[in-house]
Every structure is written in C-alpha cells, then in structure tokens.
Amino acid sequence: MSVLAALAAHYDRLERCHDVVPFGFTRERITFGLVLSTDGEAVACDDLRLGANGQSHGRPMTVPRSFKRSGIKPPPFFLWDNSRYVLGLGRPADGSEPRAYADRAAAFRDWHELLFDGTDDPGLLAVRCFLRSWTPERFGQAPFSPALLDRTIVFRLAGDTDADGRPRFLHDRPAARAVWESHASDGDRPEAVCLVSGVTAPTARLHPAIKGVSRARKTGASLVSFHQAAFTSHGKRQGDNAPVSEAAAFRYGAALNALLAPGSRATLRIGDTTTVFWADAAVHGETAARRVEALVTAALRPTGPPDPVRDGNDRRQAGRSWDWLGVPSAAQAVGLGIDPDIGVHILGLAPNGPRLSVRFWQELTAGALLDRLSAHWGDLRLEPPAWKTPPSPAALLYALARQGRPETIPPQLAGELMRAILTGHRYPRSVLTAVLQRLRAGDPIDGPRAALCKAILQRDARLYRRRTTDPSTGPNKGVPVKVTPLAGGLLTSARHSSSLATTALPSSDGRSLQQDTPPVPPEPVPPPSLPPHRSPAPTPVDMESEIERISGEWFKALR
C-alpha cells in the first residue's frame, strides 16, 4: 500500500474517533473573534489566544478549509482569515507602521458577497453589512487594537450560543455550513481516475499543506507537488500529472496533519527526521491498535545522552529490555499484551524547502517489528552491556556528537539509522565513519561507541554471508571484511571499562556491589605469528574470533 493510500485509510479510523475534521474543513489556530451586532457593527473582540504573554498562540478551531495561496491576487478563506483580508490592514515585513491592503480586503468582501447571495441568515447578513461599511480609518476605534494585525480572525454574532450555551462562531451556524458545503463539493476541476482510491472523481490541482514537520515551514509544506515545467507531461499541469481526487487528497492530508498535531502521541522527532506511526484498527479494534502504538513509542522514544554504565533511567520500559533478546516475537507479543498480526505503518519525513522528503516508509506487522528491534539490540549488545536498557535510536546518535553537544550530530544520519533498524538492512557506513572520526579527534573510547562499531561490523558480516552468490567468497571461504585494530580495541576497552564500572553499582537493596579485590585484568593474548611469504589458499574466517584476537592484541599494546 502506498503512503497516500495508507493515510487515507487511517482517516476513517480518526473520523470514527472524532479526531479529524470533516471534508471541506480544517483545523487552524485562531487568535481573535470579532463580535458583531445584527446591523454589522463591531461591539467586542474575543481574545482567543492561549499561553503566557510573549509565547501565546491561537486556539485550535475547526474552520472552513484553508489552501495554499500564491500570486499577486491570492484568494481569501471563508468566514475567517488574517487581518490583511478581514480588515485590509497588516504590518510589512520590516515591522514598520501598518499599511493598507485594499485589494485583499476587496477580494474578501466580494467573495462573501457572492456566497451570501440569497441568504436570510442573521449572522451571515451581519458579516455582509460589516464588510460593506468597513474602512481602515475606523481601526483606531474600539474594539480594535494593534494586537489584531496579522492575526487570524473569525466572526461571532452577539448573543449567539450553541446547544450547550457556549458562544457560537458564525462558521459553526447551520446556514454557514450549508453554504460552504455546497461550495466545497461543487468544484470545476476535471475528472480522472484517482491513483489512491481508483474511482473517477474531480482531481486536486494542489495538494494540502502538511504542518508540524520539524524544521519545515510553519505555514506547511507539500508532500506532493509539481512546481517546475520538467515535472509536467502531455500538456498537463500541477496535480493533473498524477491525478488524486480532491476527497482522497483531503483525507490523507487531514490524517497526516492529525498525526503531526501538537500533543500527538504518534510522533517522534530524531535529528532532522519527523517520524509518525499508526496501527491498523479495522480488524483487531481500537484498543489493540493503541497497545501496538504504545509499544512503538516505548521502543523508539528519544532519550537523553546515555551514560556507559548507568543511563539515568532505572524504570523498566515495555518493549525495551535486554531480557527480550533470544525470545521469539510471538512470546514477546504475549508478554506485552499485543497481537503480533496487527499491521504497523511508520513514515519518516524531513524538510526540503517548501516540500517534504520521505526518508523511509515501512509497512510491517507488530511481530515483525519486534523481530527487527531484537535483531538491532542484539547487534548492539556487549557483555557487560554498554547501556542499562536497550538504547533508543536517538541515544545512539550521541556517540557522534562533538564534545557531547547534540547540535553537532549530523542530522541526516537519523533517518538513515532509523531506516536500517526498521528494515533490518545494513547500518549506514557513514555512522561508522563518524564514530571513528570522533575517536581520532580525541573523544573517549566508551561502551556506546564500541557497541556501534561492533553492531555495524557484525550486521555487515551476517548479511554478507546470507546474500552472497559468489562461491569464492561464500561462508566456507570466509568473509572479506577487514577489521582494524582500532575497531577491535574498542570492544575490549569498552568491556573492560564497563566491568570496572559495574563493580561500583548499587544493588536493588541499596548495598554496594564494590568488590574487596580489584578486578583481574584480561589475560594477555600472545601475538600471532607472521604468515609465510606465499599465497595460501583461502581459509574460513570466524568474524567473532577475529575481533576477539585483534582486541586482545590491541589491549595488550595499551597496557
């Protein structure tokens, strides 16, 4: 299933839970509400901002849908917009005195005049009277203030309330919804077979803006866009090159924006990659799906910089324990209370100017996810472990930081590392290169760096044995992987330092585990004899034995 098709299907689940808005509407942050009398006079202004002064933001509200605007005459929104459209006033980019935007105010007024034609609703008539009589010169009078400039504004009829007695805004009145729903469904776009749903329907010219991706534009970025002539064909433009119906585009956009919304528990941010995930609830139900999503959160949640001995987190986390290694995924699923057959979708997004890049996309079952996490943690494990509990992907990246500063971590490595964990493929060699660069720069040789090097080399060797097709380099002929003394020494040094440190760890009853006698250093390994000066036949190479042999030599040299 494609990314768009999976997101469109996830919309149905969110709609059942009332977590998304209906077709034709969107979720926006509104800062002010203009209260109108029945004759169109502004009598008050509701401050809808949330948060402390200086960091306030608008209140999330369901309003008629927004869209991307461009050109010299961008169109307005219905019954809400920023002050440049509603009042015809705003501040320039240089922050100087307010200036008038007469063309945008006129477009806002003419647009609502057209949609309100024939209505007899008192609220809509009040908005029309206000727009007809409004002039920027009245901005200095009450209830207007400079705080409204460049902020989003909605309308409310004085004294109007909903069934619960709460103030009701004009876009929530039944007459306003009827006007907008009739307009939203009456498009003039050509019809084509939708690549997502397979039905013939009006196609979307522009796809919805996706908001909430870390380091992307705050106004939203496009997951699908055609912005240059090189991307067009057969005279088609914009979304006609890859037709997706307006309904399907809205569904996937609403689902993705809901996953990325502030406070969402289905979002993880690691480096420059924002990861969203969800589970299928159509077969196994909502409760089972949420349990799987909780497992993904527990296993991949970013943590702080790890300590080689104590990671500062003594709590046992579901799905993150060394005890799970070697346990079949079915038994793990039973222990965690989840169904291993539930489908899981994991999507990684990164900013790319006005658009979004897909760093990875994985569809798998909960059981397969447990298998790949166990394989990943097994590759990382040392004896004694470099971490008290299996580390999160974000914790691994701290081994690449210069002088322990997380801002120096190469951001693109997050997506590459996460892709390798989820797919079970090779770790990015750039991670090994980055670790070795830190060591050459004088950073300490600790357990996490040793574990990373060991995991990369061990997985490469395992996958090479499995996939090789050349009999001259098959499992019986050895693995052509060169292990340097530095990489081998990392393992022994980390294991020895971890052994020294763990002797001072407190036990569960509070007593110290410090030994009375110092730990016995490892026995030196005699150096290997040099091979004769001839070309011997290839002999099998045991990767683990080779690492241990070189580790012993390197550690002996250090002593």
Average pLDDT rounded to a whole number, residues 369-388: 87
Q: Is the pLDDT of residue 491 over 60?
A: no
455 pLDDT band, cuts 50/70/90, is: very high
Whole-number pLDDT of residue 73: 80
308 pLDDT band, cuts 50/70/90, is: very low
**Pairwise pLDDT comparison (360 vs 516), residue with the higher score:** 360
Can you state the percent helix, strand and coil of the chain, rounding each to 5?
40, 15, 45
Tell me the pLDDT tens digit for each residue of 86-110.
999 998 877 778 889 999 999 999 9
326 pLDDT band, cuts 50/70/90, is: low
Q: CA–CA separation, 502 vs 497, rounded Å?
A: 9
Whole-number pLDDT of residue 82: 94
417, two tokens: 């590392």
Q: CA–CA separation, 549 vs 491, rounded Å?
A: 11
Q: CA–CA separation, 451 vs 431, rounded Å?
A: 12
Q: Is 287 exposed, middle or buried (0-12, 13-18, 19+ CB in 10 A)?
A: exposed
Q: Which parts of 282-408 fold into alpha helices (H)?
A: 286-300, 329-336, 366-380, 393-397
**Pairwise pLDDT comparison (501 vs 490), residue with the higher score:** 490
Query: What pTM, to 2 d.p., does this model score?
Result: 0.67
395 in helix, strand or coil?
Answer: helix
471 pLDDT band, cuts 50/70/90, is: very low
**Pairwise pLDDT comparison (51 vs 442), residue with the higher score:** 442
Residue with tokens 């930081």: 401
405 in helix, strand or coil?
Answer: coil
Q: CA–CA separation, 514 vs 24, rounded Å?
A: 67
Segment of 3-12, 201-210, 387-396, 433-442 carrying the highest mean pLDDT? 3-12
Tell me the pLDDT tens digit for each residue of 111-124.
999 999 989 999 99
Q: CA–CA separation, 220 vs 67, rounded Å?
A: 10
32: amino acid identity, one letter: F
Whole-number pLDDT of residue 406: 80
Neighbours of 122 (CB within 10 A): 13
Q: DSSP for 188-256?
A: -PPEEE-TTT-SEEEBPSSPPEE---TTS-TT-EESS---SGGG--TT--GGGGS--BHHHHHHHHHHH
CB 175 within 8 A of CB 123: yes
CB 53 within 8 A of CB 61: no
| Cα-only R_g, the chain | 30
Residue with tokens 């980055």: 434
Q: CA–CA separation, 382 vs 359, rounded Å?
A: 30
Q: What angle do CA 345, 348, 351 make, to 5 degrees?
A: 150
